[in-house]
Structure 1
Amino acid sequence: MPSPHDHTPPSQPAGSACGHAHHTPGQTDGHSHAEESCTAGHDHAADAHTHTHACSAEDHDHAHDAHDDDHAGHDHAAGGGCGHSHGFGHAHVHTPSSFGKAFAIGIAANSLYLVAEALWGFFSHSLALLADAGHNLSDVLALAAAWMAQHLSQRSPSLRFTYGLRRSSILAALANALVLMLVTGGVAWEAITRLFDPAPVAGKTMMIVAALGIVVNGATALLFASGQKGDLNIRAAFMHLMADAVTSLAVVIAGGLVLLTGLNWIDPAISLAISVVVVASTWSLLRDSLDMALDAVPRTVDAGAVEGFLRTLPGVADLHDLHIWPISTTETALTVHLVRTSAPAADNDTALLEKAAAALRERFGIVHPTLQIEAADYAPSCALTDPHTV
């Protein structure tokens, strides 16, 4: 558990956003912000904390209510009449710990299945079963990677990783999508080659092994069904297992048709059709995980609506440098500079920050907003500002 600390980043222009670290519930944390002619000291308790800032001979005391991983917004005055705030109340959303049990069951069940399939293939001299066992090995590794990422994403922030390791869940989802695409592509290529030169198929053996695969993969996939809509990493694991279950179903159907008709080309034809379906369903997973890895605005957040809401806040004349990005597969962050029509009292700024952050969390699901308030005559430069940035 990190101990309270003070650190001073390199000198920044007055009013620029200061470095900060947020910790998960029950953690004692501290962070300091350095601005030109401005120093800040922070004293954090586990459930409530008070911030005292000295800036250009002005003292500001900010009391934060007790919270469960919620941080009250605080305003930093700086030369040039501006300040910034970390959003009032950001509730971190983590995947329920019960999914750890789902991952454990999924890895154990699929490991036993692939060992049984490999042994069956070895003693029956079936190359197809041995190849499918290799495919199931990739599934076990994918589940293990997703589970590890889920664990890493819940680690507390540190001085080096100021958001913790939350992005590991995004990287795992992207890796799983790529692996699923590559494996399915390999199956499709093999199916195409066998269409022109069908190999003899042991239909009965195929049906028995594939039926067992339906039970193992289908039952394991159901363990992740409740979380796959809200967490891309869980969705990747779910789709891996469902793709295998559907493939096994196709193998059962193909085996039955081969036994009835004696037409061996039915097996690769059905495999090719299933590969097309899996690629089509996996495309959205690959697209969304790649977007997240590139800090795109999450598809669940309407950036235009967020900007429109911020512009309607009382006393806000303009805004710029609006950025919205995912910090994990379940959490979204935002930074923005709000330009005030005048220089209101500090309590008015506090009310504005509280209202904005609460609405961003409740209406748009943005759990980590950082708002910087600036006077109308203050125009800081930003390296990211260009014609395409709000």
Structure 2
Amino acid sequence: MIAKTSKFSLLFILLGVCIFVKANAAENPDWLKKYQEHEQFGNVYVVKTIERSGGAYASFLVDRNGNKLTPAYRDIGKFSNGLAEFVTFENHQGALGMHGYINKNGKIIIPAIYRGAGEFKNGITYVMYPKGKQFGLTYLDTLGKEIYKIPVELFPNDFLIGKAQAAYVAYHDCQEDFIWHVNGNLTTLNWDFGRYTEVDIKKAKEPFRFYYHGKFGIVDKNMILRVPVALDDIDLIYKHSGRGLARVRYGKKFGYVSSKTGEIVIPFLYDDTQKPSLGRYWVKKGNKWGCINKKGETVIPFLYDYAGRFMDENRASVSLNGKFGHIDTTGKITTPIIYQSASYFKHGVAMIQLNNKYAYVDTTGKVITKTWFSEAEPFREEMVVTEKYGIFYDMSPDGNFQFKGFSSAWKATLIMILLSALLFIPYRFGFRFRKSRS
């Protein structure tokens, strides 16, 4: 019984070996032996010949019978979304190999006009190309249609061709990339994220902002890099941002990106900015302040030495040549620019200063107080305290005021007068009494 079991076991082992050898022979036909590398993708193979002595190599796409479907290419990558990247040989003029994409029939779907490229993921890939003195990067779909082009021209000090270093795996030019040294660290124009980071990126409500060795970049949920890793700062806490735009900095200049898409909406043109209000963005250029809208269009000229935020009553305090006044959101002057200072508006009024005296104006610039005060303050509550000649008054927004009290100086004076009176009266009565007795 034991002998029969052993025979059956041996028979099953021999049968399994035969099946494995047959399957392996079917998967690896004899014609594959002349190639040093191969990889199967369905009914086609990517194969490669490598001359170990001279280092020359060539890649082909072949069918299951070994028939070549393409001419010799320097490299062919993995198939994904029905396409594989391929790299041409250098031509007789010494031009570098260029990257494109073929389908499983060997037909060129996206021509080899790019300096670098990547593998398709979810129907999207990136390609790199020379753009002036820089390398540019564009995302394509499987038909070669452009989806998004990174505006590298806005980062003129980065991604320079002259400073790029090519990096690739030997005999695999499809895995080529370009790297740059920035502040002692390596960076790249194309960015690849780990699996777990991708999960976080896709869960984020807004485009994902990430940090790498002192620089920031922005990527969206489709893993498209909207801003390369070149930003010096992003206003992550929205101290200077709002209304759909986030402030960013490149070098010493500021611009804005869309909080929704992550794209650069307003380029790096400005020396300083303020938090936006009432749809207006105060920005500084050439030592002057002006206003732009969400599209970056100038809506108030760059005229002012100082500008306050637009607040209540659609008014902002501005300064020109050392004088202050107010303008509205169209740039119209509503309070003449003639004062020593002009506060923000609250409850429809603002404080002004002229000749070291204070008063209040309404939104038309009309002075609503009947007198000028030696001390005053802008409205915060419904009443404000003012002072004239050491006497305090409660001021209401309609310009009316009422007595509140005396200053400490006045109080001290009154006390002195009272003490003097108290001392003088006894002396006076005593003098009269002595005179009457004599």
Scaled by the length of structure 2, the TM-score of the pair is 0.23
Query: Per chain length, whose mean CA-contact separation is higher, i.e. which structure has more relative contact order (CA < 8 Å, sep 6+)?
Result: 1
Q: Higher strand share goes to which structure?
A: 2
Kindly name which structure, 1 or 2, has the bigger radius of gyration based on alpha carbons: 2
TM-score, normalization by structure 1: 0.25
